[in-house]
Structure 1
């Protein structure tokens, strides 16, 4: 009996989500191939994805025209357009959500990134997005900034499922898990059914290598060169170790007994940026049970074409992964400095993309007004 790499990936416990969404893709039926042939069971979005979709697609013209006629400002137009696409995608994946009791079949939409340092603003926006989409399989994305931690807890406490995004460091990941458990504890006190609440923690991978490899090039030694392309996998594998530890604790067992679902690790930024590295590196190298891998279509197609799944490639690798980080430290490559820089840059990129999105929609509104 023949199988495929993406089917093998799913069988190994990895949920495949697509890191892309556009109305053109929704209207063309393009998701059908991804679901049926490539085992895609969810979707993630971000400001960059929406900016590209709006800039390159003509399928938004009718809605933009109606919004212009109604006198909508650009912020309302962006809110209505993006939530419309996410609601449609949620409907498309509703059967998968039902089949998996809400674990998969998920579609993510991010709060306005300009609110990433505003706890109260993030909470309000998360609730507004959830109310607008009106689908049980939507995930509200909240960046894992220090200010975002309380927002994550409060949003979960309201019974809203959350995708925690932009995680780079193991220390912050532990804080995210704590915020998740606080949210569930509060949700239980608020009378919510914990079984209906789901969450993923999006741990970014390739950006870690991009930043650290540049620093290793600057070091220039043989030892430094030997470490290139290894930090991203090592960091993510140690994150999975944290996941295993935290979700076997007594605190978690109490929540699990009350019906709670574990917050699964999600591998994000899995498109390889260095052409010298295998294009399936951050997929085949991060296989384990109960994880999500959200891939850009190019990476998904590469995995489907020539990816090799060799079972669990995380469990049992922790000592080797820790050794990679220790060697980086010995070479003067500061892990803390790198992850702090990546968080700041990640937020800046999201805000820049959001500004591009606003500019694109404003131009379309102005054109529609004649």
Structure 2
């Protein structure tokens, strides 16, 4: 593998490339291993939508579902067994990467049942159950950054379990997420856990911010409004990196770092471009900095590998400009708090809907297999 490809340059600039997809076909065909070898992929993220597509749009799980049907397994337990098995296999594939990076990369994420996003205790219990079932050191348990999820993040970290915090849209919520992480580390230390073994990322969503704000800019329709399209997502993420730099240079963090803790890295999620008018690598090349993760759908990964222009850090020195942009949007009557609140609500609704669709499809498959027996 050459060091001159755009993905190699991205990695050299401090960006860990993770694939936003996992299927049994990828694992069994060797295509995921090929992405590790050729395109610098060092981790994988999953979510309910990804599993819904993987299980319902292929025959890879047909035999397993037939066995489950014969055993009288219900849809929820079947989904639990299938998804944890795929994630465990992914963790095995990425184990050499995890070993080489001391657990920083080589990670595979699995999300708690999204229906528990508003249930703190339910999320904690589900996180522990998933962690025990996958039983791999390099698994990440994904917990949505709802208000109720913050305490669950702290409690899960306190147990020594590594966490991927997902569905972050606002700077205020991101600060709360980092605080929950630090509180968890402080409790983990008191509980006797080795802090160097606990890892975390904070998944900050990018493209969906532009989708919602662009819609509002189009409704305004002025030249000033149109000139701001496609810029808010990157600006918001850049300001999140400013928060990251601020908190992880604080005295509170220094005490934890001295005890062996590693920072919670920002992860750029939702990096596939939704508007074809924008460059297809917009949310990759515009968010290059040290100590971040970019989790990409394969289409975005391929575009980056093919023609991404990576010239080094594209975040440093942008904070004043990014703040000014958000202020311009407020001046046009576009409420930042309204946008991010709506996006969190819609994001959770989509994940819950995907999860319910998955359960329904699996139940249909179990019923069909039972009739064939």
Question: TM-score, normalised on structure 2?
Answer: 0.98
Give the Cα–Cα distance (whole angstroms) in 1 for the partners of residues 146 and 126 of structure 2: 16
* Aligned counterpart, 2:259: 258
* Aligned counterpart, 1:202: 203
* Aligned counterpart, 2:305: 304
- How far is 1:67 from its partner? 1.4
Alignment of 1:276-315 (within 5 A): 276-315=277-316
* Aligned counterpart, 2:58: 57
- What is the DSSP-based 3-state SS (H/G/I as helix, E as strand, rest coil) of the residue aligned with 1:369? helix
Give the Cα–Cα distance (whole angstroms) in 2 for the partners of residues 141 and 150 of structure 1: 14
Give the Cα–Cα distance (whole angstroms) in 1 for the partners of residues 32 and 165 of structure 2: 24
The number of residues matched between the two structures is: 370
Alignment of 1:94-105 (within 5 A): 94-105=95-106
Alignment of 1:221-240 (within 5 A): 221-240=222-241
Deviations 1:303-339 (A, max 9, x none): 0111100110001100010011010000000000000
Give the Cα–Cα distance (whole angstroms) in 2 for the partners of residues 271 and 55 of structure 1: 23
- How far is 1:2 from its partner? 6.3
- What is the DSSP-based 3-state SS (H/G/I as helix, E as strand, rest coil) of the residue aligned with 1:368? helix
> Is contact 2:266–2:293 with CA below 8 Å preserved after alignment?
yes
Aligned-residue Cα RMSD (Å) equals 0.7
- How far is 1:291 from its partner? 0.1
- How far is 1:368 from its partner? 1.4
> Is contact 2:27–2:33 with CA below 8 Å preserved after alignment?
no
Any gaps of 5 or more consecutive residues in structure 1? none
- How far is 1:366 from its partner? 0.9
Give the Cα–Cα distance (whole angstroms) in 1 for the partners of residues 368 and 26 of structure 2: 24
Give the Cα–Cα distance (whole angstroms) in 2 for the partners of residues 97 and 66 of structure 1: 33
Give the Cα–Cα distance (whole angstroms) in 1 for the partners of residues 199 and 143 of structure 2: 14
Give the Cα–Cα distance (whole angstroms) in 2 for the partners of residues 263 and 70 of structure 1: 42
Deviations 1:52-110 (A, max 9, x none): 00111111122212211221111100100000000000000000000000000000000
Give the Cα–Cα distance (whole angstroms) in 2 for the partners of residues 49 and 151 of structure 1: 23
* Aligned counterpart, 1:135: 136
Give the Cα–Cα distance (whole angstroms) in 2 for the partners of residues 310 and 302 of structure 1: 16
Any gaps of 5 or more consecutive residues in structure 2? none
Alignment of 1:130-279 (within 5 A): 130-279=131-280
Give the Cα–Cα distance (whole angstroms) in 2 for the partners of residues 331 and 140 of structure 1: 39
- What is the DSSP-based 3-state SS (H/G/I as helix, E as strand, rest coil) of the residue aligned with 1:41? strand
Give the Cα–Cα distance (whole angstroms) in 1 for the partners of residues 222 and 36 of structure 2: 46
> Structure 1: which 4+ aligned runs deviate by more than 6 Å?
none
Deviations 1:104-155 (A, max 9, x none): 0000000000000000000000000000000000000000000000000000
- How far is 1:162 from its partner? 0.1
Question: TM-score, normalised on structure 1?
Answer: 0.99
> Is contact 2:117–2:149 with CA below 8 Å preserved after alignment?
yes
Give the Cα–Cα distance (whole angstroms) in 2 for the partners of residues 32 and 180 of structure 1: 31
> Is contact 2:289–2:313 with CA below 8 Å preserved after alignment?
yes
* Aligned counterpart, 1:338: 339
- What is the DSSP-based 3-state SS (H/G/I as helix, E as strand, rest coil) of the residue aligned with 1:245? helix
Give the Cα–Cα distance (whole angstroms) in 2 for the partners of residues 254 and 2 of structure 1: 37
> Is contact 2:15–2:290 with CA below 8 Å preserved after alignment?
yes
